[in-house]
Amino acid sequence: MTNIVKPPTQPRAKSTQKPTRIQREKTSAILEAALEVFSKRGFRGATLDLIADEAKLSKPNLLYYFASKEALHAELLAGLMEKWLEPLAHIQPSDEPVVEICAYIERKLELAQKYPRESRLFANEIIQEAPRNQDALEGPLKELVTEKVALINIWIKDGKIAKLDPYHLIFAIWATTQHYSDFDTQIETMMDDGYGDRFTTAKTFLIGMFTKALTP
């Protein structure tokens, strides 16, 4: 399994001593506030003042824990990459690859439902051409995608799944699952009241669609 390497973006207040309970709580509150602000406003629109206000801390207090907006953003992206890579890393060699890939789709939908702000944070970074996350894209993510593309090609060669482009299969899964968090406002507006939970109905639709596409 591909190792996931986090960039060196430790909180400013971190020392060789174990953080106190108050330090842990404040660090957590700052990261939570930063996630809220970054996910709504993007990197450019976010400010330390807005993050401090969201965290209910003074700006000097925030700067004691994180030296800059860039440090906060990098810390959030590092944690996000771990969450985003884990479901893909779980795809393993199997005698039932269609089931294996559909399980990946389910895990991606669960991520979209559980971590919508993180998904929007990542989407904003990619839209801006990943100026602060290029190393992670070119390193752990690319390595993992290359590994899974090779596995999918083996399944295709063995006749276990239909002949399709493995890269575009992965991209299509990303696009169709993350859409439900990145564009949730649009989806909520379009779907009539009483139609049902969008993640539940999306799961049924996507599993059905990809099962048909993957079956030889």
Q: Say which range, 11-25, 37-51, 158-172, has the weakest mean pLDDT.
A: 11-25
| Cα–Cα dist 163/216, whole Å | 8
pTM: 0.78
pLDDT for 127 equals: 78
Mean pLDDT, range 11-36, rounded to an integer: 80
Compare 161 and 133 and report the one with higher pLDDT. Answer: 161
pLDDT for 169 equals: 98
- What residues have CB less than 8 Å from 68, skipping those under 6 apart? 48
Average pLDDT, the chain: 87
Cβ atoms within 10 Å, residue 24:
12
pLDDT for 202 equals: 94
Angle, in degrees to the nearest 10, between helices 198-214 and 166-182? 170
Cβ atoms within 10 Å, residue 5:
12
Domains and CATH numbers, the chain: 21-72 (1.10.10.60), 79-214 (1.10.357.10)
